[in-house]
Amino acid sequence: MIKGFIFDLDGVIVDTAKYHYLAWKKLANELGFQFNEEQNEAFKGVSRKRCLEILLDLGGVKATQEQFDHWMIEKNEDYLRYIEKMDVSEILPDVPKILDFLKANHIPMALGSASKNAIPILRKVGLLSYFKVVVDGNNVTKAKPDPEVFLLAAKDIGVDPTDCVVFEDALAGIQAANSAGMTSIGIGDTTILTDAQYNFNNFTEISTDFIKQLTTI
């Protein structure tokens, strides 16, 4: 029986996946090559450093350590310029419906994200107080598909991993949830999130009855 809920952030709670994409695309263009949405799929759930390594491989660009560090900072500064303008209107549809329902039923919620910008983003959109625990890119050493981020989140909310559910928009995140022994719910393209135990295009398709069935509230 599910007793704890873990949410990924980018692409699940807020549509920041598009801002990550725009910032990486800008850097790729500056370095003289194209970068498209299909390529961006592999960047979801992946740490900033690893994303830059993949991007440079795609463009066949060799970087010195100094250039690498500079581009990491540049991408993040571009990304933060988008984040700066965010407000509640960027919460994905019906996410508050599920968060409010869980909160009303006293079910602990955790955030499990690879992002180092998770707390400022949650603050910007006014959702930070819903989460008992935030595990993010500042707390983990192993990236998804390693289950570390979700196992840490489960431990911190005091729920056994097998009693946790994870909402994810990235294949690496679904794989991380599955290796943690958790119930995985894919949010987004069902043809990509093939390993998920449940699939929904977005939260408008998730009813409170579905949540009740999972938890037996």
51 touches ligand G6P by CB under 6 A: yes
Cβ neighbours of residue 77 closer than 8 Å, sequence gap 6 or more: none
The residue nearest Mg ion at its CB is 11
148 touches ligand G6P by CB under 6 A: no
Cβ neighbours of residue 61 closer than 8 Å, sequence gap 6 or more: 31, 33
168 touches ligand G6P by CB under 6 A: no
Q: Which of 26, 97, 103, 116 binds ligand G6P (CB under 6 A)?
A: 116
Q: What are phi and psi of 57, to 5 degrees?
A: -65, -45
* 136 in catalytic set: no
Query: What span, in angstroms and rounded, lies between the C-alpha atoms of 176 and 32?
Result: 34
- Least Å distance, CB 176 to ligand G6P, is 11
Half-sphere exposure of 214 (CA within 13 A, CB side): 24
- Judged by beta carbon, residue 166 or residue 170, the one nearer Mg ion is 170
Cβ neighbours of residue 43 closer than 8 Å, sequence gap 6 or more: 20, 21, 24, 51, 54, 55
Q: What are phi and psi of 82, to 5 degrees?
A: -70, -45
CB under 5 to 8 A by kind: which of Mg ion, ligand G6P, none does 137 bind?
A: ligand G6P
Q: Which of 10, 90, 136, 148 binds Mg ion (CB under 5 A)?
A: 10
- Least Å distance, CB 118 to ligand G6P, is 7
* 189 in catalytic set: no
Q: Which residue type, as a one-letter code, is found at position 131? A: F
Ordered strands of the 198-200 beta sheet: 133-135, 109-112, 4-7, 164-168, 183-187, 198-200
- Judged by beta carbon, residue 63 or residue 214, the one nearer ligand G6P is 63
> CB under 6 A: which stretch of 46-54, 84-92, 124-132, 176-184 binds ligand G6P?
46-54
Cβ neighbours of residue 182 closer than 8 Å, sequence gap 6 or more: 6, 150, 154, 161, 162, 164, 165, 166
- Least Å distance, CB 76 to ligand G6P, is 6
Please identify which residue in the block is written with the tokens 């799929």: 41
> CB under 6 A: which stretch of 28-36, 37-45, 92-100, 124-132 binds ligand G6P?
37-45
Give catalytic residues, as residue numbers. 8, 10
Applying CB under 5 A, the residues found at the interface with Mg ion are 8, 10-11, 169-170
Applying CB under 6 A, the residues found at the interface with ligand G6P are 10, 20, 43-48, 51, 76, 113-117, 137, 170
